[in-house]
Amino acid sequence: ERYADLAASHSEALRQREEREWHNARLRQENARLRLENRRLRRENRCLFRQALLGPGPDKPPADPGEEAEALRAQLGRLQEKHRRALRHLRRCRAAGAPEASAAEEGELEELLLEEDEQP
């Protein structure tokens, strides 16, 4: 009976380990996907920032400043919402015991989380 209990306990431990490994693999995939999305958004942000600095090209008529400001406000709102969602996701991953990030990433994440907490 004792050996049966030990065997059942061992089987349960193995099952839990496999489940944790599967969950960690899924989190790593999600992390990779989010990193790619982050890179894409940074490139898009740089491109949009350059466009805003350079202004309209010679073949484009100058945009109405009011319309341009409204479009930029709307875009800023969308980017801030994406940022908030990404931070919430990172918090959930941390709470779920996701693998530790590198020291640089951990510092950057802490800084972002602190900034987010300080904002009203």
- Length of the chain, please? 120
Q: Torsions phi, psi of 99, nearest 5?
A: -55, 145
Chunked into runs of 10 residues, the chain (120 residues) has average pLDDT values of 96 97 96 95 89 70 75 89 85 75 64 62
Give the pLDDT of residue 22: 97
Give the pTM: 0.41
Could you tell me which of 75, 82, 74 has the C-alpha nearest to residue 112?
82
Which pair of tokens denotes residue 58? 């010679």
Give the pLDDT of residue 99: 61
Q: Tell me if 109 sits within 8 A of 101, measured CB to CB.
A: yes
Hey, where are the domains in the chain? 1-60, 63-119
Give the pLDDT of residue 42: 93
Q: Tell me if 106 sits within 8 A of 100, measured CB to CB.
A: yes
